[in-house]
Amino acid sequence: MAIDNRNLWPDLAPSRAGAGAQAADEVLRLDDLRISVHGGAATAVRGVSLRVRPGEIVGLVGESGSGKTLTCRAILGVLPPGCAVERGTVSFGGVDVTSLSRRDWERLHGSHLGAVFQDPASYLNPVLTVGGQLAEVLRVKLGLGRRAAHSRALELFEAVGLRQPERVFHQIPAELSGGMLQRVMIAIAISCDPRLLVADEPTTALDVTIQAEVLELLQRLRDERGLAVLFVSHDLAVITQLCDRIVVFYAGEIVESGPAGEITRRPRHPYTQALLRVASVGDFRRRELEVIAGQPPRVGEDITGCRFAARCPVAVPECGAGPIRSVPVGDRHQVRCVHAARAVVTS
Amino acid sequence: MTDAPAAPDSVAAPPLLAVESVDVTLGRGWRANQVLSGVDLDVWPGEIVGLVGETGSGKTTLARTVVGLVHPRRGRILFEGLPISALRRGALRAQRRRGYVQLVFQDPLRSLDPDLTVAEIVAEGLRIRGETDRGEIRQRVTSALEKVGLDATVLERTPGQISGGQRQRVSIARALAVEPRLLICDEPVSALDASTRNYVLRLLEELRTSLGLAIVIISHDLSSLAGIADRIVVLYRGRIVEDGPVDRVFATPRHPYTALLMASAPSVQHDRPFSPQQLRRSGSDPALQPGPGGCVFAVRCPFAAEVCATQPALATIGERWSVACHRHEEWSELAQTAIRQEGPAHAR
């Protein structure tokens, strides 16, 4: 079911000159996104730029309060009260959506964008059958008839690996396990064939065995449908397992981004290196449990230079001298660190 | 493992905690649901036991049974040889006030009273025990907080005003204030970032060493348990399916469910003896439906055979190592053969 998504909202003009050329191979593009919180009193996300290509799984990783979830919500147009996009753009296929009206967002949700979150039960109506809720989306968004919506819903349940779709269709959320509910949410999210699925900690509340199954499902959806996925997690192990590219957030900034293999084998930012040391290695051998000394800065705290410097084992005076630029250190591999910048200059 | 003080040298010394063939049923009548079946578990002083299993496996119920919040329908629980599950009324209250067994709850934000200050929360157990001397209480609260690495600045804050890691440390300090001998931690780190998680786990290990505490850690994160536990106990649907020394169990898991848990754990590295797919019953394979009394894992087990129509008992297979599987010697070879037939495991 291929839908040319741009035709669904022809009245929205492409925002930037030159964006059109790249738009074809970009599902999502963030440029210098800044998000303010507490009604503009503080900046929680500072200058985030990233791209997601079709069929690519991109993982955002960072500690709680690092801004990864806020970034996600800005992409979905559902920032919590008191938060606003201060600067920068979010664009889908070359069209800026930062100042869309509610109506336009509604057209975008489903057809361009699907979303799943940590707690699937709280996004479903507890007294309606899950099948009915999926069919409703199909009828409203795609204009399907009652019968067509029903059979399409069963197909979707099957596609997300629910074993007895006909039975699940008539069940209410309380009758399903957490893993099954998350599959239902994924079925709803992909029901209108979106190009991008935003998944914010979708497996955090699940058992490891179920988590592994959901991660496999996301990979399969990517392979079969060319779905791009933006996956958010605080668990670097989950991110490396699933993603093609990893974006590391620290205190509201992207400190490193690059191909998953590069990031895990040759991390260049001291924070990424530290995260890898504390992450679950999964070899099940007894090892020293390491910690990252110190605390991350408070949300919105004003710091000149590198925001990780206070906790960094290799910090030098330069780190606090001025804003640190993100420099390329490899193929699509960027690092925001004075040491990496210096290495680039000398080479 | 040089640092395991757990090995029972003298057979005569009773374990600190002994759970003996405990059955627990929650609900009544047609709603009755057997949550634990024939659970046997010993915990020795100074030992860290990792209790793992998925949602609904009975981990939390086992913890609640041990502290006396749930009564077993069958079997008994002994603490230092005293059958605490048989205590009622006054004797039970007296036992609870002594505070030898303390439970650290899963979600500190929900289990700590949001209106009380940290000082009040930590002092509550002491007050219940009958401590009245204010100076004494103050001093014990400060020392309990010190043990978990918190200073006096948090004393007057409420749980909402401190970070997640600090909150979890406060709930550990609350448990420590009454000087328990056994600490049961229900998912103490599942809500924390990796660095904070390691900090709290390290703290528990230090407490074991400095206070000689026995600690039971309930978790679904096997990898972090590998860092601190001496023993791993795996629960599946209310039954213990494997119980053994952490290094042995993690090197060669003998129950297919333990192996599935390990294979499913996310990891930064990609080398695994088995992939989760090899340890799962495939969708096309009709699920085996063993009648009542069959092995609890058979429905999900790709290696289930006719013998699995009866529930295997937890059998000793090595030193302090036991497993409840009829095919514990065969399945890993079967899985290996499957690899050879189907080519290498799905790897990325």
Tell me the pLDDT tens digit for each residue of A245-268: 999 999 999 999 999 999 999 999
Q: What pLDDT does B36 receive?
A: 94
Superfamily of domain B17-235: P-loop containing nucleotide triphosphate hydrolases (3.40.50.300)
Q: What pLDDT does A21 receive?
A: 45
Put the strands of the sheet holding A42-52 in their side by side order.
A42-52, A28-37, A84-92, A95-96
Nearest to B268 among A213, A237, A290 (CB): A237
Residues in Cβ contact with A38 at an 8 Å cutoff, skipping those fewer than 6 apart: A82, A300
Q: Which residues lie across from A50 on neighbouring strands?
A: A30
Q: What pLDDT does B31 receive?
A: 82
Q: Residues A206-218: what's their mean pLDDT?
A: 92
* Domain limits, chain B: 17-235, 254-346
Quickly count: other Cβ atoms within 10 Å of residue A262's Cβ: 19
Would you call A80 an interface residue with chain B, using a CB distance cutoff of 8 Å? Answer: no
Between CA A92 and CA A31 the distance in angstroms is 12
Q: What is the ipTM of this complex?
A: 0.84
Would you call A313 an interface residue with chain B, using a CB distance cutoff of 8 Å? Answer: no
Q: What pLDDT does A270 receive?
A: 96
Between CA A278 and CA A289 the distance in angstroms is 7
How many angstroms separate the CA of residue A193 from the nearest CA in chain B?
A: 25
Q: Residues A181-208: what's their mean pLDDT?
A: 93
How many angstroms separate the CA of residue A59 from the nearest CA in chain B?
A: 13
User: Is the Cβ pair A280, B251 closer than 8 Å?
Assistant: no
Q: What pLDDT does A282 receive?
A: 64
Query: Helix or strand or coil: residue B11?
Result: coil
pLDDT at A17 over 70: no
Would you call A205 an interface residue with chain B, using a CB distance cutoff of 8 Å? Answer: no
Q: What pLDDT does B259 receive?
A: 93
Q: What pLDDT does B174 receive?
A: 94
Between CA A288 and CA A297 the distance in angstroms is 26
Burial class of residue B236 in the structure, from the number of CB atoms within 10 Å of its CB (0-12 exposed, 13-18 middle, 19+ buried)? buried
How many angstroms separate the CA of residue B87 from the nearest CA in chain A?
A: 35
Q: What pLDDT does B192 receive?
A: 82
Between CA B210 and CA B206 the distance in angstroms is 6
Q: What pLDDT does B340 receive?
A: 57
Q: Residues A260-281: what's their mean pLDDT?
A: 90
Residues in Cβ contact with A117 at an 8 Å cutoff, skipping those fewer than 6 apart: A123, A185, A199, A200, A201, A202
Q: Which residues lie across from B44 on neighbouring strands?
A: none
pLDDT at A150 over 90: yes
User: Is the Cβ pair B195, A286 closer than 8 Å?
Assistant: no
Q: What pLDDT does B271 receive?
A: 67
Total count of residues recorded for chain A: 347
- Tens of pLDDT, residue by residue over B7-17, are 444 445 789 99
Q: What pLDDT does B346 receive?
A: 43
Q: Which residues lie across from A138 on neighbouring strands?
A: none
Q: What pLDDT does B293 receive?
A: 81
Q: What pLDDT does B96 receive?
A: 83
- Tens of pLDDT, residue by residue over A64-105, are 889 999 999 999 999 999 999 999 999 988 888 888 888 888
Q: What pLDDT does A347 receive?
A: 61
pLDDT at A19 over 60: no
Residue with tokens 């707690």: A119
Q: Residues A15-37: what's their mean pLDDT?
A: 72
pLDDT above 70: percentage of residues in chain A: 91
Quickly count: other Cβ atoms within 10 Å of residue B65's Cβ: 23
How many angstroms separate the CA of residue B20 from the nearest CA in chain A?
A: 28
- Tens of pLDDT, residue by residue over B190-213, are 778 888 888 889 999 999 999 999
Total count of residues recorded for chain B: 348
Torsion-angle region of B259 (φ positive above 0: left; ψ -120 to 50: alpha; else: beta)? alpha
Low-confidence ranges of chain B (pLDDT < 70): 1-12, 270-271, 283-291, 339-348
Q: What pLDDT does A1 receive?
A: 40
Nearest to B54 among A207, A238, A295 (CB): A207
- Tens of pLDDT, residue by residue over A283-310, are 677 777 888 988 889 888 889 999 999 9
Q: What pLDDT does A217 receive?
A: 95
Between CA B216 and CA B197 the distance in angstroms is 16
Q: Which residue has the higher pLDDT, A284 or A12?
A: A284
Q: What pLDDT does A6 receive?
A: 42
